[in-house]
């Protein structure tokens, strides 16, 4: 059973006289997968170079391209030197000391569900262990290593992007603490790709350290789950499917932040301002975070998932029994069943996520703004937080709250760059943004003015704290949105509308399509329990009396539906064109309409535009075309207009009566 008891691992550090004594202690770290001969970073690289699959591949290239094999082996060695991790305990101890000092200054606490990580330790030794944390911040892999150091678990080998590899000094420091580097694309460099796959194979079969990777592939700038990537997962699972290891244990982990240190950077990126290139100087500039407070962090370790048990009878190995094992690859059948595990890991991360009071406050403030209501007083906010907390807990949310008054006051203090008390009312902070030094040639979409950015950034930052709640709400929100149009409807018609809208939003709110019927029935049952809908006859249902929750649900998905609708309009207007034009024109049209209607600035975010294009591609309403000039899209007008017709009633209902009059201060 999942432990709900969390311990603050910073607490012992606060009371000790000397941190150096603790970080320099003798460590007898738990090993993930015991080997007869203990490997080291260099032995892994040597084993890959000598591997029969690599050698046969080099022989083939040497013959076909008339290149000396010795030269090719040198290239493989260079690739391995680029990829390979290292382990330097002195550097690990030094970074632990630095991290303690920073965390004690900026964090209220780092909370771990102690029983779960101790249970994971009991499983170590007999099988490869794979840590799969959510990815919301660069701090994720640092905190994961610090937790392992604290609990005497071997620091994992961590899959890191090449962005970090080129950072002066920092690249080698990360490598010395277990990072191995992977290119995001290999541009048909099959020598690199074959070497990298064999390196992963070596770490899984013959490595003794845990492996850590982010199944979403990149940081989620929006602070909600992204569609899982299957490439690295396929590589890790290959030895299980080929019976080269008895089992592989996956540990899903949710890392939840009360405040994300990159929140402002993410807001800029979502609005189209490109992120700065990772650099060592940029890293040291980021240390200015020690002047601010970031509240608490929760690392919630989930129940370990046995790959062998998860796949069960589906783990067919008969088709891998013919021929030499080094010549075999995953079959199409294998690749088709692996996504179910990827989605299960994402689902576990969502269930494990910890919400803070700021997530509830953000949802309530957003609801008031979206519905052009008066600002909440502190007392009104407190009452609504308590009410919303109860609602969310009925939906299965884990909410960190020991004393609601203290938590609200702490949230207002930690997030005073977004939310302020203005004459006793809860208001959104404003800031003046200077774009004088912006390189407009690198903008991903429309050039937003300083006025638009100053208005939008705080509201987009605030939405980043709404997003972690939405996996609890999106299914209910769709059901309520359907009823807003239909008034009365049968469960079968409701199911059809739900499945259609859920499919439209497939990339926005991650779901595993084979489970969509089960998710509908769960949401339908919850809607009745919360009195969102009520049975009115033998076959029909209509909206229930819980109007406050209905409004919150609708306002929570409003920006996404609006973004999708506007992009469809742009594609209808401009037809087949390149991606940048689509993004630019969609942002331009939304900004134009924001002057008279309350359109949430989160509707401008490029992540949602990207998800919309993926969804339209999935519906075959557009066709994605790759060329040397980038991406472009060809439009199928018949299918596009069908989607427009299906989205339009939702937009008309959601924005009915939302013309800004009394709240003119929120105009641009």
Q: For the segment 351-364, what is each residue's pLDDT rounded down to a tens digit?
A: 999 999 999 999 99
Structure tokens at 402: 């020991």
Least confident interval from 85-89, 179-183, 545-549, 651-655:
651-655
Question: What DSSP designation does 468 have?
Answer: G
Q: What is the pLDDT of residues 25-59, one digit of tens each?
A: 999 999 999 999 999 999 999 999 999 999 999 99
pLDDT at 441: 79
598: pLDDT confidence band, cut at 50, 70 and 90? Answer: confident
CA–CA dist 618, 610 (Å, integer):
12
Contacts of 471 (CB under 8 A, 6+ apart): 224, 225, 350, 509, 510
| 283 has pLDDT over 80 | no
CATH code, 103: 3.40.1130
CB burial string 14-46: b at 16+ within 10 A, e below: eeeeeeeebbeeeeebbbbbeeeeebebeebbe
Residue 109 lies in a domain: yes
Residue 253 lies in a domain: yes
Range of the domain at 182: 40-259+294-352
Q: Would you state the pLDDT for residue 582? A: 97
Return the biggest CA–CA distance within the chain: 80
Q: How far is CA 485 from CA 371, 543, 565, 626, 653, in A?
A: 18, 11, 16, 39, 7
Strands (E) across 526-565 are located at 533-535, 540-543
Q: Please tell me the predicted confidence (pLDDT) of residue 285.
A: 55
| Joined tokens for residue 151 | 């609990």
Report the helix count and the strand count for the chain, using DSSP H and E: 26, 19
Tell whether 543 is covered by a domain: no
Which pLDDT belongs to residue 171? Answer: 80
Query: pLDDT tens for residues 285-325?
Result: 555 667 899 999 999 999 999 999 999 999 876 666 666 77
- Asked whether residue 562 is assigned to any structural domain, the reply reads no
Give dist(CA 142, CA 158) in Å, integer: 10
User: Does pLDDT of 660 surpass 90?
Assistant: no
Question: Residue 634 forms beta bridges with which residues?
Answer: 623
211 inside domain = yes
pLDDT digits 0-9 by tens, 200-211: 999 999 999 999
- The helix/strand/coil state of 256 is strand
In this prediction, residue 327 carries a pLDDT of 74
- Other beta carbons less than 10 A from residue 561's beta carbon: 25
| Residue 62 confidence (pLDDT) | 96
What are the DSSP E strand ranges found in 540-661? 540-543, 577-578, 622-627, 630-635
Q: Residues 517-575: pLDDT tens digits?
A: 999 999 999 999 999 999 999 999 999 999 999 999 999 999 999 999 999 999 999 99
Q: Is the pLDDT of residue 664 over 90?
A: no
Q: Tokens for 321? A: 């029994």
Is the residue at 117 inside a domain? yes
**Region 419-443 average pLDDT:** 86
Residue 144 counted as domain residue: yes
Phi, psi dihedral angles at 305 (to 5 degrees): -110, 120
The string of pLDDT tens digits covering residues 166-216 is 666 678 889 999 999 999 877 788 999 999 999 999 999 999 999 999 999
**610-636 pLDDT, tens digit each:** 999 999 999 999 999 988 888 999 999
pLDDT for the residue numbered 372: 80
As a whole number of angstroms, the distance between CA 35 and CA 105 comes to 41
* Of 25-29, 196-200, 371-375, 381-385, minimum mean pLDDT range: 371-375
**Looking at the predicted structure, is the pLDDT value of residue 99 above 90?**
yes
Angstrom CA distances, 538 to 78, 184, 487, 488, 494, stand at 71, 55, 16, 12, 15
Tell me what the mean pLDDT of segment 104-133 comes to.
96
Q: How many domains does the chain have?
A: 1
- Write down the residue that tokens 């959104």 correspond to: 428
The two three-digit tokens of residue 626, written as one number: 């790759």
Determine the Cα–Cα distance for residues 192 and 80; give it in Å rounded to an integer: 9
pLDDT score at 154: 96
Cα distance between residue 480 and residue 442, in whole Å:
40
Phi then psi dihedrals of residue 113, to 5 deg? -80, 95
Q: Which residues contact 99 (CB under 8 A, 6 or more apart)?
A: 142, 146
Token pair listed for 503: 């499919």
Mean pLDDT of the chain: 91
Q: What is the pLDDT of residue 662?
A: 31
Q: Is residue 240 part of a domain?
A: yes
pTM score, two decimals?
Answer: 0.94
Residues 6+ apart with CB under 8 A from 25: none
């Amino acid at each position: 059973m999942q432990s709900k008891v969390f311990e603050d691992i910073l607490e012992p550090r606060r009371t000790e006289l000397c941190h150096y004594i603790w970080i320099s202690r003798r460590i007898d770290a738990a090993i993930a997968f015991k080997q007869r001969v203990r490997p080291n970073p260099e032995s892994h690289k040597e084993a890959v170079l000598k591997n029969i699959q690599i050698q046969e591949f080099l022989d083939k290239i040497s013959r076909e391209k008339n290149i000396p094999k010795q030269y090719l082996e040198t290239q493989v060695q260079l690739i391995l030197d680029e990829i390979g991790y290292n382990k330097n305990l002195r550097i690990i101890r030094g970074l632990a000391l630095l991290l303690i000092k920073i965390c004690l200054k900026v964090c209220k606490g780092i909370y771990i569900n102690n029983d779960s990580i101790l249970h994971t330790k009991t499983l170590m030794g007999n099988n490869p262990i794979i840590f799969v944390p959510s990815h919301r911040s660069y701090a994720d892999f640092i905190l994961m290593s610090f937790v392992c150091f604290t609990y005497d678990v071997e620091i994992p080998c961590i899959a890191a992007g090449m962005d970090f590899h080129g950072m002066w000094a920092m690249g080698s420091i990360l490598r010395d603490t277990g990072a191995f580097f992977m290119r995001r694309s290999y541009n048909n460099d099959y020598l690199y790709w074959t070497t990298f796959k064999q390196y992963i194979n070596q770490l899984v079969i013959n490595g003794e350290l845990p492996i850590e990777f982010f199944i979403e592939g990149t940081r989620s700038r929006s602070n909600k789950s992204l569609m899982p990537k299957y490439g690295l997962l396929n590589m890790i699972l290959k030895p299980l499917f080929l019976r080269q290891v008895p089992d592989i244990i996956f540990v899903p982990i949710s890392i939840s932040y009360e405040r994300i240190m990159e929140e402002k950077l993410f807001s800029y990126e979502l609005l189209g301002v490109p992120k700065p290139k990772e650099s060592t100087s940029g890293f040291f500039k980021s240390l200015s975070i020690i002047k601010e407070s970031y509240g608490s962090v929760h690392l919630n370790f989930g129940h370990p998932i046995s790959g062998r048990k998860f796949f069960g009878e589906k783990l067919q190995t008969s088709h891998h029994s013919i021929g030499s094992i080094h010549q075999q690859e995953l079959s199409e059948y294998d690749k088709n069943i692996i996504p179910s595990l990827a989605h299960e890991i994402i689902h576990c991360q969502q269930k494990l996520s910890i919400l803070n009071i700021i997530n509830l406050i953000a949802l309530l403030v957003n609801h008031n703004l979206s519905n052009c209501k008066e600002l909440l007083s502190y007392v009104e906010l407190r009452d609504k937080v308590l009410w919303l907390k109860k609602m969310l807990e009925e939906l299965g949310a884990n909410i960190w709250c020991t004393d609601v008054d203290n938590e609200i006051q702490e949230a207002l203090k930690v997030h005073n760059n977004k939310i302020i008390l203005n004459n006793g009312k809860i208001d959104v902070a404003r800031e003046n943004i200077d774009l004088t030094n912006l390189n407009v040639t690198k903008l991903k979409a429309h050039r937003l003015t300083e006025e638009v950015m100053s208005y939008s950034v705080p509201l987009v930052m605030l939405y980043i704290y709404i997003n972690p709640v939405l996996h609890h709400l999106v299914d209910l929100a769709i059901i309520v949105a359907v009823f807003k149009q239909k008034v009365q409807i049968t469960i079968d018609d409701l199911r059809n509308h739900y499945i259609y809208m859920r499919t439209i939003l497939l990339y926005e709110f991650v779901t595993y399509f084979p489970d969509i019927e089960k998710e509908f029935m769960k949401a339908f049952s919850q809607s009745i329990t919360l009195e969102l809908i009520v049975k009115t006859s033998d076959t029909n249902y209509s909206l229930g009396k819980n109007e406050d929750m209905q409004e919150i649900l609708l306002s929570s998905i409003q920006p996404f539906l609006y973004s999708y609708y506007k992009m469809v309009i742009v594609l209808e207007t401009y037809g087949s064109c390149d991606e940048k034009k689509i993004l630019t024109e969609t942002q331009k049209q939304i900004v134009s309409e924001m002057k008279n209607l309350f359109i949430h600035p989160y509707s401008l975010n490029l992540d949602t535009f990207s998800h919309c294009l993926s969804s339209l591609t999935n519906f075959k309403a557009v066709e994605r075309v790759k060329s040397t000039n980038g991406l472009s899209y060809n439009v199928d007008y018949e299918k596009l207009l069908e989607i427009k017709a299906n989205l339009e009633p939702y937009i008309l209902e959601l924005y009915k009566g939302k013309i800004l009059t009394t709240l003119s201060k929120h105009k641009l």
